[in-house]
A and B are shown apart, each in its own frame.
Chain A
Amino acid sequence: MKLNELTIKEAHEGLRQKKFSSLELVRACLGQIKRLDPKINAFITVCEREAAKEAERADKILGQKPTDISARPLLGIPVAVKDNFCTKGLKTTASSNVLADFIPPYDATVVTKIKDAGAVILGKTNMDAWAHGSSTETSDFFTTHNPWNFNRLPGGSSGGSAASIAADETIASLGSETAGSIRQPSSWCGTVGFKPTYGRVSRYGLIAMASSLDCPGPIAKTVSDAAILLRIIAGKDPSDATTSSYAVPNYLEKINKGTKGIRVGVAKEYLAVAENEIKEAVLAAVKTLEKMGAKVKDISLVDPKYAIAVYTILQRSEVSSNLARYDGIRFGFGREKFGQEAKRRIMLGTYYLSAGYYEAYYLKAQKMRSIICRDFEKAFKDVDVILGPSAPTTALPLGASKDHPMFGEMMDILFEPSAIAGLPGLSLTCGFSAEGLPIGMQILGPQFSEELLFQVGYAFEQATDWHKRKPKL
């Protein structure tokens, strides 16, 4: 096995046992990037020299104080970071021409946290500009290609992070989700994506898209890797007033407790939206869990189509305000550099918030948001988790998002309700289409049920081989 193909867990063990050095590990990833990224385009910036230097530093620590690795679970491990997380001294663009040359003077909290855990930042990954999209096609720079089929989209907006994991260009990666931006590309690229409870992970330093929904989260090769990463980045942050002081458990502790007795809800409204192939794969996954002792129950949720309207209104409104600072006065370029999608969102959001329309749109959407929250609360009285399809389709061909202003909203229909409610969701592979593309399923839980979601996801992963499949590259 090549070093770049390792999981966090395997890499950590290897480094601990001195089977290889961090520099070798980093070089393996850099080599894969050099070989493949011209075709995949997952990275906007690759920190070749800095990463090698950081790896050497990690190796020094491993040599001098080998016990340090126990306290630093990412020591010497390469991580790819989505390009909407501010990285001190390292160009951060949000894939927008407006910030094409922006070098932040500070690190996002999650970046500080992974650095403190010893991570080596490998580079910054491509995304839809400002995270506006589900394809990476709205990136002002280039489109990322799906490692499973270069003619397909990786999904988005964290398409670069998901593709870099799927192509083994990195060991771990960070993404962000507003409604689907972690789970949808994970489902299309066959990776594990975890969208945490809103407020579980600090947004400080994450370039804001829709502030009341934005959520950093891990994109990884396995469920336990995602659990390792989340534990590192989660927690109360004095710099983000919306973070929760709810204690962060060691997600690995109960991860192998199995699914016996766990009540799994399956919503017919969610299955109805998905393509047949996906529906079948998800139902097969339900059977697998049932065989392992889970209690499956059919449930009914508010039709996810309503979430599209609610999400669109709230998100556009916040976007129009969040992008106001990019006026070209203090940093970055002027407003003329905004792409079509950003302009559309600014105009729509400005309209929703305007005097005379606010009540009809924004306020109404907030009321509907409460209804969706209550709907989930009600559902979680009867079941512990809800299982359903991730994206309604497998990876679509390049160009699919062009001329479809609502492309993202349609692709994210099954993520929007839980995102609006601030709930956590885990997306992982539960099969492959006839074309050989990954099929994703998601497991949703109540707020702060991360531990349970990892437990169910891990049990499924252990019982199946889907995660072991790799694209032929």
Chain B
Amino acid sequence: MMRQIGQISQIRRANYQPIIGLEIHIELKTKSKMFCGCPADHFGKPPNTQTCPVCLGLPGALPVPNRKAVEWTIMAGLALGCQIPGESKFDRKNYFYPDLPKGYQISQYDQPLAISGKLGNIGICRVHLEEDTGKLVHVEKATLIDFNRSGVPLMEIVTEPDLTSSDEAKEFLQNLQRIIKYLGISEADMEKGQMRCEPTVNLEIKKGNLTVYTPLAEIKNINSFRFVKRAIDFEVQRQFEEFERTGIEKQAGNKVTRGWNEQKGITILQREKEEAADYRYFPEPDIPPMRFERKNIEDLRKKLPELPEKRARRFIREYGVSEYNAAILIENKGKADFFEEAVSYARELEKPPGTKAIGDWIVNKRVDLAKTSPENLLKAILAKAGAATLDDSELIAAITSVLGINQKAVIDYNNGKEPALMFLVGQVLRRTKGKGDPGQIRLLLEKELHDDKKR
């Protein structure tokens, strides 16, 4: 009987499809905060050491928008294929929370900086700019507030509900993170809270001829890519089970907010009737509306770096690297830049190694970019390349000669003294002036010594 129910579930499971939309917050790494001159870099700073009347929301203080943050948000919008409307404005989102000093958050409501974009096949609904809140620190019997984070520029990206699996969500986020880092506008480190993701999940279920939807759930408190996947997976399963049990469908006003509990690996109900919240948005009277000329937008577009996907395609086309290696080379901007620097350095050489070989080397050898320079990398490749051009006969001649001169080492080796072999490898390399692959020399030596012994 039990088994039968399980089977029915399996069958039904094939008839539902998760619908996932993402809301992503990214802290911009501008020098100063969104609306005042305090430093925006707050991670690990002593509490309340980076505050002023503006970000503390003191009486009479006024916000002055950070131009850089506005430009960067537009650039992010452009990188995500968005349209940039000629006019945008800030709005007040009114709500009470102890970490929100003014009693409202300056955000953008109906005129975001960027709209209607696409990343891969996922639609981008909007990109807007707002301010981060302070941070509550719960200690025994008290809650403390740290306002260092208050007013840090926060870019919000909202996708269309185009994602259908947790894997797709994770991949999208990694892709997005890479683009943001390429733009150089944020470190977008999820663990540090520089990038936060709130997926909204529900299911489309086919019941005979009917299609029904489960209530929307927005999931908060996720701080890694891994947990995005796990939280969505849990929520999908939970919603399916809940629907089987209750049959409750999505309707106006029954969206819920759930919190991801990392320890237990589950989502927990935080708030019901999420849509009932009334933020009483109205245009921020302290900040005049923003107008952008086409030329301003095009100037910003020109500032965009080559984005990872495009760069990978170019690496394949221009440098002949494999699709697989290209994907690894563009993983981060630093690595891709390193590769291209090595390529351009190689071009100045008389006998340069092939561009594909340089790429292969970086990928296969897992080169630690922090510990080498493009120049040194090329030296290493050339040494190896030199070895490859060394005739086998030259190498054999060198080995025979070394073995003849170093009889003591041969005897030592035959008596089981392993280090003697390394000594001989070194001697061969010395004779070939560094040409030749040490691994190959070692193999040839061993064979020779073994044959010797047999003789």
Contacts and interface: CB of A to CB of B under 8 A. Distances in A.
Interface of A: 84-86, 92, 94, 99, 102, 104-106, 108, 203-208, 210-212, 238-242, 317-318, 320-321, 323-325, 327, 329-331, 350, 353-355, 358, 362
B443 interface: no
B103 interface: yes
Interface residues on B, range: 20 to 34
B92 A104 contact: no
A321 B104 contact: yes
Interface stretch (B54-62, B257-265, B320-328): B54-62
Contact of B101 (A204, A318, A330, A358): A330
Given A212-B285, A324-B104, A207 B280 contact: no
B278 interface: yes
Nearest to A211: B285
A75 B375 CA distance: 67
Nearest to A356: B278
Contact of B278 (A104, A238, A354): A354
Contacts of A86: 53, 58-60
A104 B59 contact: yes
B149 interface: no
Given A239-B64, A241-B64, A325 B286 contact: no
A327 B96 contact: yes
B98 interface: yes
Given A211-B286, A353-B280, A355-B278, A321 B94 contact: yes
Nearest to B53: A106
Given A321-B103, A327-B96, A241 B58 contact: no
A398 B94 CA distance: 37
Contact of B282 (A92, A106, A238, A317): A317
B47 interface: no
B85 interface: no
A320 B285 CA distance: 13
A382 B92 CA distance: 39
Interface of B: 53, 56-65, 92, 94, 96, 98, 101-104, 145, 278, 280-282, 285-288
7 contacts: A104-B59, A104-B60, A203-B60, A241-B62, A324-B102, A353-B94, A355-B278
Given A106-B53, A207-B60, A241-B286, A354 B280 contact: yes
Given A239-B62, A241-B63, A242-B287, 15 more contacts: A84-B60, A86-B58, A204-B61, A205-B60, A206-B60, A207-B60, A208-B59, A211-B285, A321-B103, A321-B104, A323-B103, A325-B102, A330-B145, A355-B278, A355-B280
Given A239-B64, A241-B65, A327 B103 contact: yes
A104 B58 CA distance: 8
B266 to A, nearest CB: 32
Given A241-B288, A321-B282, A325-B103, A330 B56 contact: yes
Contacts of B61: 106, 204-205
How would you classify the secondary structure of chain B's contact residues: helix, strand, loop or mixed?
Answer: loop
Contact of A108 (B60, B278, B288): B60
A329 B285 contact: no
Contact of B58 (A105, A240, A362): A105
Nearest to B282: A353
A207 B278 CA distance: 26
Contact of A325 (B101, B281, B285, B287): B101
A106 B54 CA distance: 11
Contacts of A92: 59
B98 A94 contact: no
Nearest to B35: A241
Contacts of A354: 278, 280
A207 B287 CA distance: 16
A203 B65 CA distance: 16
B103 A324 contact: yes
Contacts of A104: 53, 58-60
Contacts of B96: 324, 327
Contacts of A204: 60-62
A378 B285 CA distance: 25
B60 A208 contact: yes
Contact of B98 (A242, A329, A331): A329
Contacts of B103: 321, 323-325, 327
Contacts of A317: 282
B59 A242 contact: no
A238 B60 contact: no
B57 A325 contact: yes
Contacts of A242: 285-288
B161 to A, nearest CB: 22
A239 B288 CA distance: 13
Contacts of B94: 320-321, 324, 353
A85 B57 CA distance: 15
Contacts of B58: 86, 104-106, 331
A317 B284 CA distance: 11
A241 B92 CA distance: 16
A206 B288 CA distance: 18
A327 B95 CA distance: 12
Contacts of B278: 354-355
A394 B409 CA distance: 118
A449 B63 CA distance: 27
Contacts of B280: 320-321, 350, 353-355, 358
Contact of B59 (A94, A210, A318): A94
A355 B279 CA distance: 8
A211 B59 CA distance: 12
A67 B92 CA distance: 49
A241 B103 CA distance: 20
Interface-central residue, B62, B98, B281, by most chain A CB under 10 Å:
B62
A390 B281 CA distance: 35
